[in-house]
C-alpha cells in the first residue's frame, strides 16, 4: 500500500526539520523527580506533564472536538489497529490525514497496534516476522509487522508514531518476558528502518514485565538507538499499583533525561501523580472518558457515582473547588 504525504501537505508553515521535534526541560522539582517541560511537534507544542484523551476511531467518544479542546488537552491519541480497519488508513490519507479527518490541528499520537495484539490473545500468532490475528469485525486474518505498523501510521499522518512491541501477560516466566523484550527491541529497530517521513517522530517502548533488571536493560538498549521519545509499556495490565511504581522507580532513571517519557495506558488520578513524581511526562487512558459515559466522575473528594439514588435531587456542583467564584 502506498504511503501518503498528508502531514506535509497539512502543515505548509511547518518549522525547519531540525525543529520539528524538540523537548525542552523547563523546571526540575527539588524534592522529587517531577519535571515540567515542553515538547514541540509540527502541529504545536505540548506542555508536560500532560494527559492525552483517547480517540480510538478518530473521535473521543461522547465529546465533540471543541469540547476536547475546552478540557485543555493539547495532544490526543488515535488507534492504529482500529483506524486501519475502519475506515482504513488509505481512506484517512485520501481525506487529508488524521488531523483533517478529526478536525484536530493539535498534535496526535498513534499507538502501534501492540496492545491489540496483546488483548486478542486467543486469536493471535506471533513470529519474528509479524503478528497474525483475527479482525474483531469480520474474523479475517490481519498481518501486522513492524513495517506495516509504520506504513499505517505514516498514512494516518500522526505526529508521533509508536513502534510495534510485544506485550506479554503478567505474571509470566522470566524466559517469556525476556524473549518478548528482545523481540520488542528488534522490532523497534525495524520500525526505525522503515520510516520514510521526517515530519513524524517514533517513540520506542520499554518492556520487561515486572523485572527491574530487564526494564533497565531494555531502556538502555533502546536509548542507544536514539529515538525522539520513549514510552514505558506493558504496565497497568492487572498488577498492583505498588508494583507499577517499583518498575517506574527503576525505569525512568535509565531513560535519556533529554527525551520525553510516556507511561502508556495509565489514567487513575493517583497513578498520574505517582508517575509525575517519578519523572513521567505523558499519559493516556480510555478510563476517564469511559467513566464519564457511565456517570462516574473524579473529584478532589474521590469518585462520585451519579447514578446512585442519593444524587437524584442533588443540585450542588460535582466539585465545589472547580466552580468559578
Asked if residue 265 lies in contact with residue 235, where contact means CB atoms within 8 angstroms, the answer is yes
In a domain, 93, yes or no: yes
In a domain, 60, yes or no: yes
Range 298-316 average pLDDT: 91
In a domain, 214, yes or no: yes
| pLDDT, tens digit, 9 for 90 and up, residues 177-218 | 999 999 999 999 999 999 999 999 999 999 999 999 999 999
User: What is the enclosing helix (H) or strand (E) of 215?
Assistant: helix 212-223
Residue closest to 261 by CA, chosen among 237, 286, 227? 227
In a domain, 124, yes or no: yes
Which residues pair with residue 133 across a beta bridge?
Answer: 124, 142
Burial 191-204 (b: 16+ CB within 10 A, else e): bbebbebebbbbbb
In a domain, 121, yes or no: yes
How far is residue 139 CA from its own chain's centroid?
Answer: 26
Residue closest to 232 by CA, chosen among 272, 260, 205, 267? 205
How would you classify the pairing of strands 131-134 and 141-144? antiparallel
In a domain, 321, yes or no: no
Q: How many domains does the chain have?
A: 1
In a domain, 232, yes or no: yes
The domain in which residue 107 lies consists of 20-311
| Active-site annotation, residues | 111, 284
In a domain, 286, yes or no: yes
State the chain's mean pLDDT as an integer.
91
Q: What is the CATH number of the domain that holds 304?
A: 3.20.20.105
Q: Which residue has the higher pLDDT, 298 or 102?
A: 102
Residue 306: predicted pLDDT? 93
Amino acid at each position: 500500500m502506498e504511503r501518503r504525504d498528508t502531514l506535509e501537505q497539512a502543515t505548509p508553515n511547518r518549522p525547519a526539520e531540525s525543529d520539528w521535534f524538540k523537548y525542552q526541560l523547563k523546571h526540575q522539582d527539588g524534592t522529587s523527580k517531577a519535571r515540567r517541560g515542553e515538547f514541540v511537534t509540527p502541529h504545536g507544542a505540548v506542555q508536560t506533564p500532560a494527559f492525552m484523551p483517547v480517540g480510538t476511531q478518530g473521535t473521543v467518544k461522547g465529546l465533540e472536538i471543541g469540547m476536547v479542546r475546552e478540557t485543555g488537552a493539547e495532544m490526543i491519541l488515535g488507534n492504529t489497529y482500529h483506524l486501519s480497519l475502519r475506515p482504513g488508513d488509505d481512506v484517512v490519507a485520501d481525506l487529508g490525514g488524521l488531523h483533517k479527518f478529526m478536525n484536530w490541528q493539535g498534535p496526535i499520537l498513534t499507538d502501534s497496534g501492540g496492545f491489540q495484539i496483546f488483548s486478542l490473545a486467543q486469536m493471535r500468532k506471533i513470529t519474528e516476522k509479524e503478528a497474525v490475528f483475527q479482525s474483531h469485525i469480520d474474523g479475517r486474518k490481519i498481518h501486522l509487522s513492524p513495517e506495516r505498523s509504520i506504513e499505517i501510521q505514516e498514512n494516518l499522518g500522526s505526529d508521533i508514531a509508536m513502534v510495534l512491541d510485544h506485550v506479554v501477560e503478567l505474571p509470566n516466566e522470566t524466559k517469556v518476558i525476556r524473549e518478548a523484550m528482545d523481540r520488542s527491541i528488534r522490532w523497534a529497530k525495524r520500525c526505525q528502518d522503515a520510516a520514510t517521513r521526517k515530519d513524524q517522530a517514533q517513540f520506542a517502548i520499554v518492556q520487561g514485565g515486572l523485572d527491574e533488571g530487564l526494564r533497565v536493560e531494555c531502556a538502555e538498549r533502546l536509548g542507544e538507538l536514539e529515538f525522539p521519545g520513549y514510552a514505558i509499556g506493558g504496565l497497568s495490565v492487572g498488577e498492583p499499583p505498588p508494583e507499577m511504581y517499583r518498575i517506574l522507580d527503576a525505569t525512568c532513571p535509565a531513560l535519556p533525561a533529554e527525551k520525553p517519557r510516556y507511561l502508556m495506558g495509565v489514567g487513575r488520578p493517583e497513578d498520574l501523580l505517582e508517575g509525575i513524581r517519578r519523572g513521567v511526562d505523558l499519559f493516556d487512558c480510555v478510563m476517564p472518558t469511559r467513566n464519564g459515559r457511565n456517570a462516574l466522575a473524579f473529584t478532589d473528594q474521590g469518585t462520585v457515582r451519579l447514578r446512585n439514588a442519593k444524587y437524584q435531587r442533588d443540585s450542588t456542583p460535582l466539585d465545589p473547588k472547580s466552580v468559578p467564584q
